[in-house]
Homo-oligomer: A and B are copies of this chain.
């Protein structure tokens, strides 16, 4: 069916990569699906938490907003500069988002880069969360959608980083090129992923960002976040909450 639509429209869907939130203003996302990507570690942890039964994850912009939910039933997660903010239940390590901790719970989350990228995308037709953990599920779902797709890398403080770029490349790599019109960032990301995919961790070790992360003593987190396809949930933003996408079969 979609193939026929394309012949009629002569305009395949766009698949673009925005390498940092600082470039988001260059894209018209009102009719697009935006996939937010913050591999180390916010969107990996969100995917893992939603997979493990978290009822919802509420991304908020500041530590203060997170703090304002203190006297509620919510779990409070706050990370800045790679570390848990003092006084909060946890940050964005995926190992904090296990079933025993998050099942049935709502989590209020603020992080340095990931929640910032989600909040900047509010105009999008739909916002979903991507990570290597749910790569295949995400790509399979994207293929069924007749919409333009923008892969939004959260980066590091508005600078480009390799891990988010590589994941964007993985998505481009997995979607059929024929059905999408790629931009230059998408082509670059897919080529970098093809170079790195046999050993993502080894490839990422040469980055300066990796040096920074090593100092934070989160090597186990990094290794975990590079696991492919260990979850199937696709977190989607609904009324300011990230929840598990429910598939409707018609």
Interface residues of A (CB under 8 A from B): 19-20, 22-23, 26, 157-162, 165, 181-185, 187-188, 191-192, 195, 206-209
Contact = CB atoms under 8 A, between A and B. Distances in A.
B206 A185 contact: no
A28 to B, nearest CB: 13
Contact of A159 (B182, B183, B207): B183
Given A23-B22, A26-B22, A182 B208 contact: yes
Contacts of A185: 159-160
28 contacts: A19-B19, A19-B160, A20-B23, A22-B22, A22-B26, A23-B158, A23-B159, A26-B157, A26-B158, A26-B159, A159-B183, A159-B184, A160-B184, A160-B185, A160-B188, A162-B184, A165-B184, A165-B188, A181-B208, A182-B208, A183-B208, A184-B208, A184-B209, A187-B207, A188-B188, A188-B192, A191-B192, A192-B192
B195 A191 contact: yes
Contacts of A184: 159-162, 165, 207-209
Contact of A195 (B159, B165, B195, B208): B195
A4 B210 CA distance: 27
Nearest to A207: B184
